[in-house]
Amino acid sequence: MVGKNQLHGVWRQGKEFVLVKDLMIVVLTGATSGLGRIVARRLAVDGVHLVLPVRDERRGDDLRQELHRLATRSAVDVFVADLSLMADVSRLGTDIAAAVDRVDVLINNAGLHAFAPRGTVEGLPEMMAVNYLAPWLLTEKVMPALSRASGGRVVNVASEASRRHGTLGLPSDLTDTRPFTGRQSSALYGKTKLLDIMFTMELARRTAAAGMTANCLDPGFNVTGLGRELSFAAPLERVLKALRIGDPARGAHLIHRVATSSEFDGVTGAYIGVRHAEPLVPAWPAGDEALQERLWDDTAALLEPWR
């Protein structure tokens, strides 16, 4: 397990602390559950070197051992970090960039739909911190390693929930800790995903000259991990699975495809839908370049203490 400023090593061929070269290196957040876990399994079977930030050390160890049993030719590093805390995200990104010679793909997959307002100890709204601020900061901190790869990719998991984002207000939305109800939470969740799309498009412009790509995607409706904060989530998930509604394999397949397929070589600044993996036109104002740049600047200013 990788803790504070310490590389644990990789788990491969039944041995620990074995450095593995020449494998594709993929950083994947949110891998201990939901879509992320399915994607992690697929990448392990591909034989990549997985770098997995996790919040829970025990679950991270369980996942690493599962992936080792599934595909011994893969490599797995597990780093412990709380993605709701910018200090942790900053340290995590610095540690990753220092621990590997490059990062070929960064997949910002971790996400949270909070049905009640919660602020972090750093004074930020938790859902905004996890869904948008953490991917922005982690991408910046990992950028030195991404730049060392040939055609490094950033893949951000967004959502069509972004079409129901309410009213966008910058920079106040980034730090808004006002109370909200479960019903109001949907628009706030959608807003975080709208910001992910805007961030991706601005990142694509800023990194194109370096040969990097940045794309985001909508994984569709998935029952895996559905409404973890709702008391009726588990029985609802069982019903939906029985009706074959919300198969998470579709969303996981798209994440894997955008992250690794040669069909996306050189493709950048796209918002890709789960149906047929075709580009989508995002909800207004996601495509507004002036607002994308303003969002970038506002986010950079907010996160300056941790950059």
Give the DSSP H/E element, type plus range, for residue 250: helix 248-260
CA distance linking residue 127 with residue 245, whole number of Å = 26
Q: For residue 115, what are the CA distances in angstroms to 34, 71, 154, 285? A: 18, 37, 28, 25
Q: Does the active-site annotation cover 189?
A: yes
First vs last C-alpha separation in the chain: 25
Of 27, 32, 94, 29, whose CA–CA distance to 60 is shortest?
32
Sign of the four-CA dihedral 139, 290, 303, 185: negative
Of 275, 274, 251, whose CA–CA distance to 35 is shortest?
251
Q: How many residues does the chain have?
A: 307
The reported pLDDT for the residue numbered 22 is 76
> Which residue type is seen at 109?
N
Mean pLDDT by groups of 10 residues along the chain of 307 residues: 36 40 91 96 97 96 95 93 98 97 97 94 98 98 97 97 94 96 93 98 97 97 56 49 63 97 97 94 96 98 98
Six token digits for residue 80: 């412990």
Local structure of 252: helix, strand or coil: helix
Six token digits for residue 218: 């909508």
Which residues sit opposite 75 in a β-bridge? 49
The reported pLDDT for the residue numbered 238 is 52
Q: What is the DSSP annotation of 146-162?
A: HHTSTT-EEEEE--GGG
> Which residue type is seen at 141?
K
The reported pLDDT for the residue numbered 18 is 45
Using only the alpha carbons of the chain, give its radius of gyration: 18
Q: What is the DSSP annotation of 74-136?
A: SEEEEEE--TT-HHHHHHHHHHHHHHSS--SEEEE------SS--B-TTS-BHHHIIIIIHHH
Q: What is the DSSP annotation of 9-28?
A: ---BTTBSS----SSPEEEE
Q: For residue range 135-187, list pLDDT tens digits in order.
A: 999 999 999 999 999 999 999 999 999 999 989 999 999 999 999 999 999 99
For the packed helices 134-147 and 185-207, what is the interaxial angle rounded to 10 degrees?
20
**Which one of the listed residues 79, 180, 189, 199 is annotated catalytic?**
189
The reported pLDDT for the residue numbered 54 is 97
> Which residue type is seen at 74?
S
The reported pLDDT for the residue numbered 225 is 53
Which residues sit opposite 214 in a β-bridge? 154
The string over 221-248, giving b where at least 16 C-beta atoms fall within 10 Å of a residue's C-beta and e elsewhere, is bbbbbbeeeeeeeeeebeebeeeeebbb
CA distance linking residue 119 with residue 67, whole number of Å = 34
